[in-house]
Structure 1
């Protein structure tokens, strides 16, 4: 009887493991959907920049949202910007905006 109990326990454990692995796949699928949404959102943002006639090159692979918001600010001011370095976008954008604001004052 104990052997049967052990086999039954192993079967339940395997079923639980299968259920858990399915949950992991659901999490991966959710991450994939999120990435697709991010890609779609970034494409919309690029379309907005294209409407301003901005030239934009970026070799970074980091924080899309911050870069896109920075580009929106620069595009709004009618500025042109090329990025091939690895430094912080927000800092660079704030410096540009600050320098433009101080010149206009």
Structure 2
């Protein structure tokens, strides 16, 4: 790579026939996602949690939550319903869930 010359302004690029208005149309020069065919080895695999009933509920109380936003970890609750995480942080009806015999309760030590 050739060395840069000092005190020389950077090259400027101007497009002819351009407008000062920002473009607001559909993306240009991009294939729509429906037209892209991925190899079968790149397709997501179907999975299920074996032994988990779809109506099961597990409540984790007073746990440390790291949400990967850059904020500090915080204390909260996590509700899992069936195979899905349903609520994280503030579980709205946590007192009712704690009293429900069908909810498996797990609290931090």
Larger Rg over CA atoms: 2
Higher strand share: 2
Could you state the TM-score of these two structures normalised by the residue count of structure 2? 0.23
Could you state the TM-score of these two structures normalised by the residue count of structure 1? 0.24
